[in-house]
Structure 1
Amino acid sequence: MRFTRQVLLLQIGVVALVVGLGVALVSWLLRSTLTEQYGLRALAIAKSVAADPVVVEGAAARRQGGALEERVQAVTKGNDALFVVITDDHEIRLAHPTPSEVGRKVSTPAEALSGQDVVSAVQSGTLGLSVRSKTPIWQGKRVVGEVSVGFEVATLTGDFNRLLVITLGFAAGALLLGAGASALLNRRLRRVTHGLEPHELTELLYEREAVLHGISEGVLAVDGAQRVSVRNGEAERLLGIDLPVGARVEELELSPRVRKAVEEGQPVDNLLAVAGNRVLVMNSRAVRRDDRALGTVLTFRDRTDLDTLSRELDGIRSLSDGLRAQRHEFANRLHTLSGLLQLGHHAEAEEYLQTLTETASARSLPLGGEAVADPYLQALLVAKSEQALEKGVELKLADDSFVRGSVTDPVAAGTVIGNLVDNALHAARMGPRRPATVEVGLFADGPALHVSVVDSGLGVPAPVRLNLFDEGVSTKLAPGHGLGLALARQAARARGGDVWLADPGGDSSGALFVAKLPDLLVEAAS
């Protein structure tokens, strides 16, 4: 049997049980109340008879029949009672609806002769079962007899049955109403659960937990009200923030691209986003059911390692291109030297060889000479110099650069300096000024490293200056850019520093970017 049907039958059973108990309780109360009412009515009649002077005098004189019998017959007929009986103080009937019973002892205990009223006693006498009340007949302070008045139980039962039929009608209506409400609730339950059984819902819960926490991708789902409804631990790890269920999106520290994807709810495929020091590949889908928007689901993949490998591959490719160019240049020089020797121009060959030696010695010195002592920074500057030479741009180190310490975090330094220099090389190469130049300044302030990069390009356009460091914002026309500056700022801020645009540039010079990296240097060993 389906769970919803079990619930329906259980609810109807509970309603029927409650209604049945209610009817039983009401029936008992009705019976008790009617008995009490008939008893009080009988007591009132008995007291009125006991107060009659004729009855008091007749009871005191123990006079049977006569005036007492007339009183009994009149009262019995006038009140539709079963009987009105008068006895003396020895329990002998003085008046009775049946004349043959006069002079005999009463068939039920004469409790009222003790001076107390008896109310609503259900007793069986000569006239059958009845509800009776008894009261003493007082003559002064002496009890001279009692008056007993009774109503037939059948009369009480008739009134009870009429009231019980009305009660049963209301009970049937309540039962039908409860059954109808249970049916509606059952239908609502089926609609809310889409007809799924409890064990199926449990299996779905287990499957959802297994899928959410068993995959290597981050999953974040928000409902139509922009609240977090589902997320897994991988999403929190990749985004670097807590994602409590029920939190609103605007309360979370999400990057602009992620926030925009959530708020707009438009499909997104393989969009790059920056979260902390990570580069994420994001996909977004809007979820709908029966033309109803349920929210948005986003998935994240970590591309940091892949991006690092890509950068290393670009560095190796740049190095190989530089080596290839040097090989061609070296071959050309050897051919020139060989031609001079074959033609017998030994003096010219010697002079040419001396010139090549001096040039090679000059080029073997690192960029900046002894101003930058850290080997990693020297290697980075040399690699960028080769890259600049290939692009037709002159890379220079500022005259006042001075760094004597050693770098403790080459990755952060490479991310910040490399991205700033790459953007500057592109701006200088695309700019109209010639010669195209890029000047890098490196300054040590205790353990902090200050970096400045200025190029000879046209500067940063005004429309993008305010959000230049947001992922996806770039002055380059080709797609796939807009992450370098965002990564550089994230890397600097992770160390307590920052990267900012000090001068957007203009007609006289290009843009100037400045970075501060605290606690990046340690004092070089002497």
Structure 2
Amino acid sequence: MPTRALNRLGGWRGRNRKLYARILVWQLAILALTSAIGFVLLAFAQSAQLDRQYENQALAIASTTASDPQLVRAMELGGRGDAVQRIAERIRAASGARYVVVFDLRGIRHSHPNPALIGKRDGGARPDGRTHVGIDVGFTGRSANGKAPLRTPSGTLLGEVSVGISEKQVARQLWGELPTFALYAGIALTVGASAASLLARRLKKSTFGLELDDIAGLLQDREAMLHGIREGVVAFDPLGRITVVNAEARQLLGLSAGLGSRLDETLPDGRLRRALDGTLTGSDITVVTDSHCLVLNRMPVTLHGRELGAVVTVRDQTELVGLLRELDSVRGLTDALRAQQHEFSNRMHILAGLLELGEHDAAFEFAVGSAGANPSLAESVRERIGNPLMVGLVMAKTMVAAERGVRLVLSRDSELGERPPHLDRLLTIVGNLVDNAVDAAASGGEGPPEVRLSMAEDATQVTVRVADSGPGVPAVVRERIFEDGWSTRPDRGTARRGLGLALVHRLVQRHGGTIDVSEGPGAVFTVVLPQPHGTGPDAASAPRTLPAAGLAEKGADW
């Protein structure tokens, strides 16, 4: 872990309250601001509502006054005397209104709280026979005003009655209601503060007490480490969604989906997906893909007792496995050459003995017979197989099998041209099947150890059949033998077991062929590859597959 991350780890305990306090303070400030704004808006709304309420109340008083019979009779007589003033003042005192003013059709006042204004014209008075409400700013100050028409019993318009209620009365009622609004705002602020405190504590718990700068620094360190290492890293949350994947993992696993995707949405069902999602358990799980030999390890992640998911590391061992196979092949060939050296030394001793005894004719016949044995075998293989690479592979496998006491026989019905299709794949397939068959024949079975190889090519397909005299494949495991890493035998030397048949199966399926296993005396593997589309073989253009064909030519053991 980088030094900066370690330094932050040491300071976490002393600073783990900062984030909590900052979140709480900001949330309380926001709640206080919103509560104040809400209180002001509510006060303005209530003030407007009270204005409308008192305007309607003033209109009701004006309508009641306009329907007073004595007032109507006095106005019909022209409003002489102080009858209209007495009636208006009586109604004003009884209703608590600030003023009750009666106008005739010319806008002349016939009543007013200020007697000096009676008989004078109000320029704003325009009796039109309709009711009006509003805010009036006049001689008596700001008031909620209501105006009602004054009519005779027959409906003739005589004037109008204007009633005003003092704005101070509206303000007194508003100030009387504000403490209730403040109480509601205080309750809301208290509830919000409690919720903010709980949220801040939950956030603190979710971040494991880390500060914001610590989280940002850890994210930078994580990105630097993830994309700087040569191993693939994939992380999953408890629900199986991909939360972290570096570039190396995308390249090795062929992942194209983004973060948040599930494996069943990204990869087809198979050993690779089962190893990633934890269905396959164990360490160093080997998976063969179209281009790589991978080793996967899946580890669950827990922190403070909480399950956070799992992390899978992916190592590419393609080159390592290829080198191990090549080394194992070289060891096999070395053993075969050592055996041939012993056999050659024995023959030289026999030849020297015959010459020392003077048996020149017998020595000559023995030398000619020994020299012609291997050329005749090579010529027999060349008669059936035209491609020199396949001839070399069969000869090398024959020597390795002979060293292990197994007889490798190329069937007489074999017929393969000089440029067979799928050459690279055929070399890999034949090499792995023969190696497995030699192992099986050498481990026991009925009759002498023997492996029979058949290769046939026609206009539609290429057929490879490998049969051994070993113990065979039990029916209960016949469906599992093509899985990566499955084997009934332990590793031998540096070679990895359980990959050869998986590789063969993947190659065959990738190119539209079939592979079957059945019982003979031992096991019989039959591979059928269709001829490629086109006019000529694709050996020159076919891509190299894992493992390289050159390794298969040397008799590598998967």
What TM-score do you get using the length of structure 1 for normalisation? 0.85
- Structure 1 unaligned segments of length 5 or more: list them: none
Residue number among 449, 456, 462 corresponding to 2:469 in the alignment: 456
Once the two structures are superposed, what CA deviation does each residue of 1:397-431 show, in whole Å capped at 9, x if it has no partner?
A: 10111112235665422321111111111221222
Change (3 A) 1:243 1:71: closer
Measured in 2, the distance between the counterparts of 1:288 and 1:523 equals 52
1:388 matched to which residue of 2? Answer: 401
Select the residue among 349, 362, 365 that pairs with 1:354. Answer: 365
2:278 paired residue among 252, 263, 268: 263
1:161 aligns with 2:175: yes
1:19 aligns with 2:31: no
Aligned to 1:437: 450
Conserved? CA contact 1:47–1:135, under 8 Å? yes
Cα distance change of structure 1 residues 258 and 482 upon mapping to structure 2, 3 Å threshold: farther
Q: Aligned pair 1:471/2:471, yes or no?
A: no
Residue 234 (structure 1) aligned with residue 251 (structure 2)? no
What do the CA deviations read for 1:218-274 (whole angstroms, capped 9, x no partner)? Answer: 2233333333333233334333464554443345225426615633474x4333222
2:374 is matched with which residue: 342, 347, 363? 363
**Following superposition of structure 1 onto structure 2, how do residues 181-220 of structure 1 map, counting pairs within 5 Å?**
181-220=195-234
CA distance in 1, matches of 2:505, 2:162: 107
Code of the aligned partner of 1:310: L
| Aligned match of 1:111 | 125
What is the aligned partner in structure 1 of residue 292 from structure 2? 278
- Opposite residue 64 of structure 1, the aligned amino acid is G
Match of 1:32 among 38, 42, 48: 48
Aligned partner of 1:338 in structure 2 is 352
Q: Which amino acid aligns with 1:404?
A: G
CA offset digits 1:326-378 (Å, max 9, x no partner): 22222223233333433xx21x2431332232232122231534111211111
Instruction: Report the more deviating stretch, 355-364 or 30-39.
Output: 30-39
Contact 1:111 1:118 in 2 (8 A): no
* Residues 171-203 of structure 1: CA deviation (Å, up to 9, x unaligned): 232333333333333333333333445554444
- Name the residue aligned to 1:63: 80
Identity of aligned residues (%): 35
2:431 aligned residue (418, 443, 447): 418
**Aligned partners of 1:46 and 1:148 also within 8 Å:** yes
Match of 2:6 in 1: none
Q: Which amino acid aligns with 1:458?
A: P
Q: For 1:106 and 1:188, how far apart are their aligned partners in 2?
A: 75
Task: After superposition, give the CA deviation of every residue in 1:2-25 in whole Å (9 maximum; x if it has no partner).
Answer: 666555444444444433333333
Highest RCO, 1 vs 2 (Cα 8 Å, sep ≥ 6) = 2
Listed as ranges, the matches of 1:263-342 within 5 Å are 263-264=278-279, 266=281, 268-342=282-356
Match of 1:77 in 2: 93
Mapped contact 2:101–2:112 kept (Cα < 8 A): yes
SS of corresponding position for 1:183: helix
Write the deviation string for residues 449-475 of structure 1: whole angstroms up to 9, x where unpaired: 321111112211122112211123223
> Secondary structure of the equivalent of 1:406?
coil
Letter in 2 for 1:470: E
- Whole-angstrom CA distance in 2 between matches of 1:484 and 1:523: 23
Write the distance in 2 (CA, Å) between the matches of 1:353 and 1:119.
142
Between 1:101-110 and 1:358-367, the stretch displaced more is 101-110
Contact 2:107 2:122 in 1 (8 A): no
Structure 2 stretches lacking a partner, 5+ long: 1-16, 540-558
What secondary structure, in the 3-state scheme, does the structure 1 residue paired with 2:46 have?
A: helix
Deviation at 1:442, TM superposition (A): 1.3
Q: 1:139-193 CA distances to partner (integer Å, 9 max, x unpaired)?
A: 5787656544333333222212112222222223233333333333333333333
Q: Letter of the 1:313 partner, please give it.
A: L
Change (3 A) 1:463 1:141: closer
Letter in 1 for 2:486: V
* Distance in 1 separating the partners of 2:522 and 2:257: 42
* CA distance in 1 between partners of 2:193 and 2:122 (Å): 51
Q: CA deviation at 1:285?
A: 1.4
Alignment of 1:99-178 (within 5 A): 101=115, 104-105=118-119, 111-112=125-126, 117=131, 119-125=133-139, 130-135=143-148, 137-138=150-151, 147-178=161-192
Q: Which amino acid aligns with 2:328?
A: D
- Decide whether the 8 Å contact of 1:394 with 1:437 is kept in 2: yes
Q: Which residue number corresponds to residue 51 of structure 1?
A: 67
Of stretches 227-236 and 322-331 in structure 1, the one that deviates more from structure 2 is 227-236
Q: Which has the larger radius of gyration?
A: 1
1:102 Cα deviation from its structure 2 partner: 6.6
Q: Does the 8 A contact of 1:265 with 1:286 survive in 2?
A: no
Paired residues, number: 512
Deviations 1:281-302 (A, max 9, x none): 2222122223333333222222
Distance 1:329 1:57, change over 3 A: closer
2:499 corresponding residue in structure 1: 483
Q: Is the 8 A contact 1:64 1:102 kept in 2?
A: no
Quick one: structure 1 residues 17 and 64, their matched pair in 2 at CA, closer, same or farther if it must change by over 3 Å?
farther
Q: Aligned equivalents of 1:257 and 1:504: distance in 2? A: 29
1:368 partner SS: helix
- Which among 42, 47, 51 is matched to residue 58 of structure 2? 42
* Distance in 1 (alpha carbons) for counterparts of 2:343 and 2:192: 97
Q: After alignment, is 205-214 or 435-444 more displaced?
A: 205-214
2: distance between equivalents of 1:441 and 1:155?
A: 114
In structure 1, what is the Cα distance between the partners aligned to 2:147 and 2:448? 132
Please give the root-mean-square deviation of Cα atoms over the aligned residues, in Å: 3.4
Q: Is the 8 A contact 2:351 2:367 kept in 1?
A: no
Taking structure 2 as the reference length, the TM-score comes to: 0.80
> Which letter does structure 2 place at the counterpart of 1:392?
G
Contact 2:453 2:466 in 1 (8 A): yes
Distance 1:455 1:148, change over 3 A: closer
Separation in 1, partners of 2:98, 2:332: 124
SS in 1 for 2:447: coil
Once structures 1 and 2 are overlaid, which stretch shifts more, 448-457 or 333-342?
333-342
Q: CA deviation at 1:37?
A: 2.6
Question: Does the aligned pair in 1 maintain the 2:354–2:363 contact within 8 Å?
Answer: no
